[in-house]
Amino acid sequence: MKSLTFVYAVHNNLYINLTNRCPCRCTFCIRQQADGAYGSDSLWLEREPECYEVLAEFDKYDVSRYNEIVFCGYGEPMERAEDVSYIGKELKKRFPEAKIRLNTNGLSDKINGCPTAHLLEGAVDIVSVSLNSGNAADYMAVTRPKWEDSFDAMLSFAVECKKYVPQVMFTVVDVISEREINESKAISEKLGIPLRIRAYDS
């Protein structure tokens, strides 16, 4: 079932679902396993929402009650990089105290065909990049992206984000091997980007 659920609350966060487009086909992606996420309505969008529609949704919520506003969803938010930038900046104007996070596969520069990290300046406080694995071969096997050089592109994007966003982190899911966890930790240390090892369903 398709819907127009593009802003939704889960636990203490508000999530923004801008698009279902994504250049990856991750083996673990919840897009392949269920129609809704975490008890929300269906997140398969009937159509992509306009920026003003997303912003209007925030009138329905007491934003101060939530820990974070998160660009996330059934797809890669940076498929709409300019809109992430615009919406994030508008939300910052309206809710200066709100913490805004972007969850991303880190392939924005490949998607958009140009550097994009600068668009996040003043729009988000945290960028959480899915590292997924500590080496290119396993990364490619798990995420199955469109481009052969995706692993390096993702790392470069994360490093670039440090220039524009106060907090950048990598995430891996705890189902990967100990070797991959250790490789991920080594990359994290080398690039100076903290690693969050998260539970499969968090």
Please give the residues from 92 up to 111 whose contact with ligand SF4 meets the rule CB under 6 A.
105
Nearest to 26 by CA among 127, 173, 134, 156: 173
Contact present, 115 and 109 (Cβ < 8 Å): yes
Please give the residues from 51 up to 90 whose contact with ligand SF4 meets the rule CB under 6 A.
75-76
The tally of CA atoms less than 13 A away on the side-chain side of residue 160 is 17
Residue count, binding to ligand SF4 (CB under 6 A): 10
Q: Which residue's CB is nearer to ligand SF4, number 10 or number 63? A: 10
Q: Which stretch binds ligand SF4 (CB under 6 A): 10-18, 25-33, 41-49, 167-175?
A: 25-33
Classified as helix, coil or strand, 36 is strand
Q: Which residue's CB is nearer to ligand SF4, number 4 or number 26? A: 26
Applying CB under 6 A, among 2, 25, 47, 94 the residue interacting with ligand SF4 is 25
Q: Which residue's CB is nearer to ligand SF4, number 75 or number 88? A: 75
Query: Residue holding tokens 């329905």?
Result: 60
Classified as helix, coil or strand, 146 is coil
Nearest to 100 by CA among 43, 143, 58: 58
For residue 39, the surrounding DSSP H or E stretch is none
State the nearest-atom distance from the C-beta of 82 to ligand SF4, in Å.
19
The residue ranges that bind ligand SF4 (CB under 6 A) are 22, 24-26, 29, 31, 75-76, 105, 143
